[in-house]
Amino acid sequence: MSQAAERLRLLTGHLDRAPAVVATRTSAPTSALHPHKFRYTLDNDLLKPEERLFYEQNGFLLVKKLVADEAIDLFRKEFERICKREVRIPGLIVMRDITIAKSEFVPDQKAITKIQDFQDDPELFRYCSLPQILKYVECFTGPNIMAMHTMLINKPPDAGKKTSRHPMHQDLHYFPFRPADRIVCAWTALERVNRQNGCLVVLPGTHTGTLKEHDYPEWEGGVNKMYHGVRDYDPQQPRVHLEMEKGDTVFFHPLLIHGSGMNKTQGFRKAISCHYASSDCNYIDVKGTTQENIENEVKEIASKKLPEAVGITFQDMWAFRGRLVKGEKRIL
């Protein structure tokens, strides 16, 4: 058994006890007729009872070998074509690590840390519509599903300044839509990921808390643009390193505190992800909330890059990105 599988087995072992925490933490009124009142998963028969309880208590669920090697190889090839500029995708954001952000651009995947917003690339967007992914997503979002945000992350070998780390954060910080419980991220390893190359690190159970204040961590070597982290993060909290094989997929709640470590290898650690939300979610105004700092930053960057973007709301920026992948388009 792999280390990751063993860790998961140990964690699921804890679920043998009665899910009292689940019942007490739900915001919905609990009923004596429904001792297991679930909050984070929906009533459908897709999840196995142990998977459902695991997500309720931990805020994430790792599914082994969900995406086939053939599909992954196609995603990797398309990423390579994008990096070489053999294909150009409208609206795609290409990010370089802060250590090389000011150097001359080289059209090679070694120079690219992440691509974001590939909703208009049919090759990559196939990931967001894979039936085996949507089958799980539906358990968290319900039947009307929007793909709201897409990324292919190519974590580079660390250049010695630890900038390849992703600070511990909650994805909800970036999202002006709610309810949080109807949003989920699917993150698939495009190769083996482990502590050496900077796998995801999660703080189990933190999805039951609230959205925390985020800001740039004070890292000596610098921090990538928009990589906010939870302020006053306590590194002593229990954490789990999600070591995964190619094709393994983790689903996680947008309040789950997570991040990823430094890539200490010479390889580029690749993963593909999509944030989904129920199309029944509604937009919120984040002014006056802890999210105002990221709203201002995103709007400032957008208006620098695209003068036409001045005056466009944060909510509209998300509405442009969102694509219906299943069911009916409603509010989002």
Ligand X SMILES: O=C(O)CCC(=O)C(=O)O
Element containing residue 122 per DSSP (H, E): helix 122-125
Minimal distance in Å, beta carbon 147 to ligand MFK?
Answer: 12
**Given the complex with ligand X, which of 67 and 153 has the nearer CB atom?**
153
Residue 139 binds: one of ligand MFK, ligand X, none (C-beta under 5 to 8 A by kind): none
- The residue within the footprint of ligand X, chosen from 273, 278, 279, 291 (CB under 6 A), is 273
Applying CB under 6 A, does 259 fall inside the site for ligand X?
yes
Task: Show Cβ contacts of residue 185 under 8 Å, excluding neighbours closer than 6 positions.
Answer: 171, 251, 252, 254, 273, 274, 275, 276
Within positions 58 to 117, which residues make up the interface with ligand MFK, using CB under 6 A?
93, 95-98, 101-102, 116
Alpha-carbon gap, residue 4 to 12, rounded angstroms? 12
Alpha-carbon gap, residue 150 to 185, rounded angstroms? 10
**Given the complex with ligand X, which of 155 and 326 has the nearer CB atom?**
155
Alpha-carbon gap, residue 241 to 66, rounded angstroms? 19
Alpha-carbon gap, residue 148 to 142, rounded angstroms? 15
Alpha-carbon gap, residue 56 to 253, rounded angstroms? 10
Q: Is 239 exposed, middle or buried (0-12, 13-18, 19+ CB in 10 A)?
A: middle
Residue 258 binds: one of ligand X, ligand MFK, none (C-beta under 5 to 8 A by kind): ligand X
Binding piece for ligand X, criterion CB under 6 A, among 39-47, 148-156, 279-287, 309-317: 148-156
- The residue within the footprint of ligand X, chosen from 166, 253, 321, 326 (CB under 6 A), is 166
Residue 326 binds: one of ligand X, ligand MFK, none (C-beta under 5 to 8 A by kind): none
Applying CB under 6 A, does 155 fall inside the site for ligand X?
yes
Residues in touch with ligand MFK (CB under 6 A): 93, 95-98, 101-102, 116, 149, 171, 174, 224-227, 298, 301, 305
